[in-house]
């Protein structure tokens, strides 16, 4: 059996790799992508069979651009996985925190470690494309005085040392990843969650009416996010995740929403992911 080709944002040692392995639980052929746009294009154009994309973090919130990327693509959300994130300060061996002059990492990782960063004001912080890429660059160039915020796995992958461990501001730190593919949206009988994007007329009560279509049929909204409609100032797309007891309940709610919304797009119907430690 050939390994599944899975596109991830980042490089070996990235949390995206951990999430992909946790979800598929089978050998993978990773397609490393520098950006989320490249990840989506890799699946759309067939260079990868599936994609695993971070969408929100329990400490710092949503990655807004990714909602737009999914909505504007032809890909569907086929599943989700929650990954416990433990961030570490890693660098060339033999260094202490006092020796570090610069920290490089992905903006989301930096935001998750804000308390630690505030405690070392002498250090300059630089945002990069990826946690693991930051670690790899330090290792390849043997740069002292510069550290990356990344996983312990990245430290092992690139022969670096953990200078400070578990530096995330809150240890109850999870990132939700969605699994993307080109399958037709359908319920296999085990699905109990859906992701939906919709837009509404800009008038009094329109959002309230939209939300009531879900509560009317016992569908629980676990996330609601608004994003601007580019070119239409002060008009918004709403993205929501809906958990339901039976697919019929969701279908009834969806029909009611379509009757009052300007636009509705179901991004995926899938089974709720399980949080792991």
Q: How would you write 57-113 as a 3-class SS string?
A: ECCCEECHHHHHHHHHCCCEEEEEEEEECCCEEEECCCCCHHHCCEEEECHHHHHHC
Distance between CA 106 and CA 100 in Å, rounded? 18
Whole-model pTM: value is 0.92
Domain 193-270 has CATH 3.30.70.260: yes
Determine the pLDDT at residue 277.
Answer: 65
- Residue boundaries of the structural domains of the chain: 4-85+174-181, 88-164, 193-270
How far, rounded to the nearest angstrom, does the alpha carbon of residue 67 sit from its chain's CA centroid? 10
The topology under which CATH files domain 88-164 is D-Maltodextrin-Binding Protein; domain 2 (3.40.190)
Active-site residue, 222 included: no
What is the DSSP secondary-structure string of 140-187?
A: HHT-TTEEEEE-HHHHHHTT-EEEE---SS-SS-EEEEEEEE-PPP--
Of 177, 198, 214, 244, which residue is the catalytic one? 177
Of 131, 175, 213, 240, which residue is the catalytic one? 175
* CATH tag for 4-85+174-181 (out of 3.30.540.10, 3.40.190.10, 3.90.1150.10, 3.90.1520.10): 3.40.190.10
User: For residues 236 and 199, is the Cβ–Cβ distance under 8 A?
Assistant: yes
What is the DSSP secondary-structure string of 104-141?
A: EE-HHHHHHTHHHHHT-TTSEEEE-S-HHHHHHHHHHH
Active-site residue, 177 included: yes
Determine the pLDDT at residue 163.
Answer: 97
Q: For each successive 10 residues of the chain (277 residues), what is the average pLDDT?
A: 92 95 94 96 97 95 94 96 96 95 95 95 94 96 96 95 96 95 81 96 91 96 93 91 96 96 96 81
Determine the pLDDT at residue 37.
Answer: 97
Distance between CA 37 and CA 53 in Å, rounded? 10
Distance between CA 50 and CA 122 in Å, rounded? 42
**Are 4-85+174-181 and 193-270 equal in CATH topology?**
no
Strand, coil or helix: 268: strand
């Amino acid at each position: 059996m050939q390994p599944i080709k899975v596109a991830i944002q980042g490089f070996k040692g990235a949390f995206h790799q951990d999430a992909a392995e946790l979800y598929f639980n089978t050998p993978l052929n990773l397609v490393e992508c520098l950006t989320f746009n490249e990840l989506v294009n890799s699946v759309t154009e067939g260079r990868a069979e599936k994609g695993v994309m971070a969408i929100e973090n329990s400490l710092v919130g949503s990655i807004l651009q990714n909602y737009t990327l999914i909505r504007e693509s032809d890909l569907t959300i086929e599943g989700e996985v929650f990954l416990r994130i433990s961030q570490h300060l890693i660098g060339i061996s033999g260094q202490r925190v006092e020796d570090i002059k610069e920290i490089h990492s992905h903006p989301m990782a930096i935001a998750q470690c804000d308390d630690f960063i505030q405690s070392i004001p002498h250090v300059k912080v630089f945002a990069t494309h990826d946690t693991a890429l930051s670690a790899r660059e330090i290792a390849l160039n043997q740069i002292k005085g510069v550290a990356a915020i990344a996983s312990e796995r990245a430290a092992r992958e690139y022969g670096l040392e953990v200078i400070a461990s578990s530096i995330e501001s809150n240890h109850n730190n999870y990132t939700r990843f969605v699994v993307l593919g080109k399958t037709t949206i359908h319920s296999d009988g085990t699905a109990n969650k859906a992701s939906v994007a919709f837009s509404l007329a800009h008038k009094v009560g329109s959002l309230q009416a939209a939300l009531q279509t879900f509560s009317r049929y016992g569908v629980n909204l676990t996330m609601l996010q608004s994003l601007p409609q580019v070119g239409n100032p002060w008009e918004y797309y709403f993205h929501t995740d809906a958990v339901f007891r039976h697919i019929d309940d969701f279908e009834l709610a969806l029909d009611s929403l379509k009757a009052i919304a300007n636009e509705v797009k179901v991004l995926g119907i899938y089974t709720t992911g399980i949080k792991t430690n």
